[in-house]
Amino acid sequence: MEKLFYDLLDKYGYQNWWPLTGKFDPFEEVCIGAVLTQNTSWKNVEKAIENLIKANLTSFERILQTDDKTLANAIRPSGFYNQKAKTLKRLAKFLLSVEKENIKREDLLSIKGIGKETADTILLYGLNKMIFVVDAYTKRLLHRLGFIDSPKIEYDTLRILIESAVPRDINVYKEFHALIVKHCKEVCKKNPDCKKCFLSNRCYNYTYG
Instruction: Report the CATH number of the 26-127 domain.
Output: 1.10.340.30
The model's pLDDT over 7-41, given as tens digits with 9 standing for 90+, comes to 999 999 999 998 899 999 999 999 999 999 999 99
Indicate whether 153 pLDDT > 50. yes
Name residues whose C-beta falls within 8 Å of residue 21's C-beta, 6 or more positions apart in sequence.
29, 49, 53
What number is the average pLDDT over the span 38-56? 96
User: CATH 1.10.1670.10: which residues of the chain?
Assistant: 2-15+132-208
pLDDT at 19: 84
The fold for domain 2-15+132-208 equals: Endonuclease Iii, domain 2 (1.10.1670)
Over residues 194-205, the pLDDT tens digits come to 999 999 999 987
pLDDT at 204: 80
Give the pLDDT confidence score for residue 209 in this predicted structure.
44
Residue range(s) of every CATH 1.10.340.30 domain in the chain: 26-127
Q: What are phi and psi of 171, to 5 degrees?
A: -70, -35
